[in-house]
Structure 1
Amino acid sequence: MNSPRIAILGGGITGLSAAYYLLREAREQGFTPQLTLLEADRRLGGKIDTERTDGFVMEKGPDSFLERKPSAKQLVVDLGLEKELVRNQTGQAYILHRGRLTPIPEGAVMGIPTRLSPFVTTRLFSPAAKLRAAADLILPRGNYDDDVSVGHFFRRRLGDEVVDHLIEPLLSGIYAGNIDHLSLQATFPQFAAIEEKYRSLILGMKRTRSPQANGGKPQGAFLTLKNGLQSLVDALDNALPPGSMRTGIRVKEVKKEANGYHLLTDYSETIAADIVIVTLPQPEVDLLFPRYDFLKAHHSSPATSVANVILAYNAEDARLEMDGTGFVVPRREPTTITACTWTHQKWPHTTPAGKALIRCYVGRSGDEAIVDESDETIVGTVRQDINQIMGITDKPLFTRVTRWKKAMPQYTPGHAEWVAQVRAGSREHLPGIFWAGASYSGVGIPDCIDQGKHAAHDALAFLQR
């Protein structure tokens, strides 16, 4: 086989994973392609960005990944970093309810009750709401001819109050979205499958819980690396051929040619490729491929902007009255922050002795204006919220504000059908173009790694054909 020219657009975790697994699989097949990865930013890693200062390990983007989705842990193992893995500490998680931190009921799985006593005794819901949620035990299966929203699904099964007070803040935070506008099939299809199999969501979740969850010692569900997730990016960079990763180069357009594709860059350079793996956000795709209507998003909901706010303290200045790992905030609460992690308790390795590290989040679908404010305004607003909620009044040692503009794609109903349309249209009109990344089939680190790995495999299969 001649050495094919393969371009990967985007140097986030999706593009880096695609490059790593493409080269590995190609070498197993006996050839080495000419690989070029192009990243517009000056750094690799996308939303993964770790700062290490004075013994603090601070994540400006995601801080961990789910172990039950195996691709991220497998990549860590493949890169020889398994000794660096750290599991989160478990502890009580809270919901902000009427201005006070209220424990999430024991046995609630993603907000779905699986134990009777904690649900009956919690202050989160009125007696009428508890009775309404119990109706799930007798309600028939839903009949959904079309994709529905996450909110529609859960409101039908458990009622509005349980959704608004518990399920919404737990689920919407993953996408910084509004669950009444998020596609069930594209975000949480497992719940539809449980309803289909067991009819009752409560009974189904109870039967599918792990033995550990039903009484064993709790174990953290998340993993990270001792020196931060940036270690994963650095290891991928080091594992790839020198010179194959090109940063600070933005592709302006991808043109289809008789013998492949031409990538036009903002430096008036043209890069030829036989295959292109695109891992960029969907709005950028519209600019790269302006002539292909099937690529355009099926909805008008723009990606959401969010900001991550880190506050470091001396431990005595940030004493918490409760033990735990943090809390989430329902939309109905009159605060700006949407969630808060007590990082020094959830990830003790990130914080030097005698210090405390708190991470707050602001911005969500329909409520993003704060993200455009100055650092001083954002920090001041966050400090006001944590003062009211946790009674922390002292000035932090230092703060960090990281904005992620239009970084959280919103999977509205019909999203899965749109992704299928993009892939089918590409096979017909853009053969050799492959799509992966948070705009398509999942926003978490494991989801993005999976997509990069699958795109690499599909690209090599295309070459073989």
Structure 2
Amino acid sequence: MIDVTEQKRRVAVIGGGITGLTAAFYLQQQAKDQKLPLEIVLIEATHRLGGKIQTLRKDNLIIERGPDSFLDQERVIEELAKQLGMEDQIISKVPGKTYVAINKQLSPIPDGSILGIPTEIIPFAKSDIISWSGKVRAACDLLLPPSNVKEDQSLGGFLRKRFGEEVVENLIEPVVSGVYSGDIDQLSLHETLPNLAEACLKHRSVIRGIQKENSQLKEGTLESTSRTFKHGLESLIFALEKSLEMAVIYKGVRVESISKVQDKIILLLNNQNSIPVDGVIVATPHHVATKLFRHEGLLKSLLDIPVKTVAAVSMIFSDSAIKKKFDGDGFVVSRNSDYSITACSLTHRKWPHAIPEDCAVLKSYVGRSGDESIVELSDNEIEKVVLQDLQGMLKIDEKPINTIVSRFKDSMPQYTIGHWKRVEQAKKELHAAYPTIRLAGNSYEGISLNDCIVQGEKAATEVLASIFQTELYL
């Protein structure tokens, strides 16, 4: 039995993206389950909730401006959807092939590839993406001694040691960069793909480790297990917002700073009002979080986390626009190609429920690491660049019926070498100064929707424990 005093406590969640919303949801769930006297305040600086998740519905089209699907091997989103009563709305992608564009050629990624890493000999041997010398070099992963993976290192450096330059540049890098939107030579092995390091250490080779380990990397390729919600990802956002009957939600209000007065935490808002609270979950990007504590000099280590700017460009064509014989549902682009786009998804093939039969929708991404200036162009200029690339690759012979350009400025945190130490240092400093404040979001412990949801739930649990620990007993 849990007993608490009748005095209500207030927890503020700063940031109304998927992390903040799920944090508020789990605060509410746990408060109900444990009968805790709790008030929840959710504060979002923009006039809408959901962050990068935004679904456009128009003329029987469902188009995602941001992320369009999720992987859910650990059933994190499925469990959340079940609690929200919308698990029956989850649907899976239609199976299809992913290609890689090298120069002017589109070639299918070999069957059995996991994150571009070949794990089946025959499909890899038959592939025209890699020369025979490159294939032989990649096979050396089976013969080389285990790499030293105890110390953190660049993901690109590790992969090149195991597979050689050609396979990394033409196959692995385009796939991995599509996931993390970054430079693999700057990204941390331990923070992005720790399973690769573990597989190499345990089984001597990465290939053999993936083949033998029943890990997430073995569950399937990036696309084969992709899922979404029937009416778009934003339906999850709407369901979360609707469920928060215990929360007061402020939109279009920004927290300027956080300070402490006696036993209360004070949130100063941009409208000159202030809110006293007992605990806080900061679910904003890290560069926003640092500004909240600038008067105390906290979280400085987070300033060393780089961010990247990208844009998603969805083009709507008639169903006859693609003249090239192409049976794939998307492709990634090698750095060795003379194209500006980094990847393209044929939405109408992956998610036919979302697109009328007489339409084709191509969602392309621009903003390659080291070449992000394209995102600063006007919508018309970006459309011209992307259309030119698609004309070269898919032989499209008409202009789009409509184009939706979505920019995500400084929104993709890069998990470079030393990321974990930076985050741990910031959290340690914050906990010493404010024991009832937690950080959560894609800047810290994972960039996927699943990772953000897990962080939101964890932050909710920890904040409630820190507030009520002197008043709870079993």
The interval holding the TM-score normalised by the smaller chain is over 0.9
Kept in 2, the 8 Å contact 1:328–1:338? The answer is: yes
1:272 aligns with 2:276: yes
Distance 1:95 1:278 in 2: 39
Partner residue, 1:128: 133
Report the residue type matching 1:31 in the other structure: L
1:232 aligns with 2:236: yes
Write the deviation string for residues 11-64 of structure 1: whole angstroms up to 9, x where unpaired: 000000000011101111112411101000000000000010000000000001
1:140 aligns with 2:141: no
1:444 is matched with which residue: 444, 448, 468?
Answer: 448
1:396 aligns with 2:403: no
Identity of aligned residues (%): 41
1:87 aligns with 2:81: no
Q: CA deviation at 1:300?
A: 4.2
| Counterpart secondary structure, 2:320 | helix
| Counterpart secondary structure, 1:268 | coil
Distance 1:134 1:438 in 2: 35
Report the residue type matching 1:64 in the other structure: S
Q: CA deviation at 1:367?
A: 1.2
Partner residue, 2:264: 260
1:422 aligns with 2:457: no
Write the deviation string for residues 108-140 of structure 1: whole angstroms up to 9, x where unpaired: 111111111121221211222111111111111
Distance 1:290 1:265 in 2: 15
| Counterpart secondary structure, 1:326 | strand
Counterparts of residues 63-462 of structure 1 (less than 5 Å): 63-208=68-213, 220-241=224-245, 244-293=248-297, 295-297=299-301, 300=304, 302-462=306-466
Kept in 2, the 8 Å contact 1:294–1:421? The answer is: no
Per mean C-alpha deviation after superposition, the further-off stretch among 283-292 and 92-101 is 283-292
Corresponding pairs, count? 464
Q: CA deviation at 1:297?
A: 3.4
Write the deviation string for residues 144-203 of structure 1: whole angstroms up to 9, x where unpaired: 453111111111111111111111111111221001000111111111111121111111
Distance 1:59 1:299 in 2: 30
Q: CA deviation at 1:67?
A: 2.0
Distance 2:44 2:412 in 1: 19
Q: CA deviation at 1:208?
A: 2.7
1:29 is matched with which residue: 31, 34, 38?
Answer: 34
Partner residue, 2:472: none
Report the residue type matching 1:363 in the other structure: G
Write the deviation string for residues 405-438 of structure 1: whole angstroms up to 9, x where unpaired: 0110011101012222222222212211101001
Distance 1:210 1:427 in 2: 33
Partner residue, 2:64: 59
Per mean C-alpha deviation after superposition, the further-off stretch among 243-252 and 226-235 is 243-252
For normalisation by structure 1, the TM-score amounts to 0.96
Distance 1:458 1:383 in 2: 48
Q: RMSD of the TM alignment (CA)?
A: 2.1
Distance 1:319 1:461 in 2: 60
Per mean C-alpha deviation after superposition, the further-off stretch among 315-324 and 365-374 is 315-324
Per mean C-alpha deviation after superposition, the further-off stretch among 8-17 and 181-190 is 181-190
Q: Is there any run of 5+ residues in structure 2 with no aligned partner, and where?
A: 470-474
Q: CA deviation at 1:292?
A: 4.7
Distance 2:379 2:410 in 1: 18
Distance 1:148 1:274 in 2: 40
Report the residue type matching 1:255 in the other structure: S
| Counterpart secondary structure, 1:317 | coil
Distance 2:427 2:68 in 1: 31
Write the deviation string for residues 305-362 of structure 1: whole angstroms up to 9, x where unpaired: 1111011111122355111210001222111101000000011111012111110111
Write the deviation string for residues 208-261 of structure 1: whole angstroms up to 9, x where unpaired: 3689x89x9x99301111110110000001000276111100111111222121
| 1:220–1:145 Cα change, 3 Å | closer
Distance 2:140 2:129 in 1: 18
Partner residue, 1:49: 54
For normalisation by structure 2, the TM-score amounts to 0.94
| 1:156–1:291 Cα change, 3 Å | farther
Kept in 1, the 8 Å contact 2:301–2:426? The answer is: no
| 1:406–1:151 Cα change, 3 Å | same
Per mean C-alpha deviation after superposition, the further-off stretch among 64-73 and 54-63 is 64-73
Distance 2:305 2:127 in 1: 35
Kept in 2, the 8 Å contact 1:90–1:324? The answer is: no
Kept in 2, the 8 Å contact 1:92–1:324? The answer is: yes
Distance 1:173 1:260 in 2: 44
1:19 aligns with 2:40: no
Distance 1:126 1:429 in 2: 57
Distance 1:406 1:33 in 2: 34
Kept in 2, the 8 Å contact 1:112–1:167? The answer is: yes
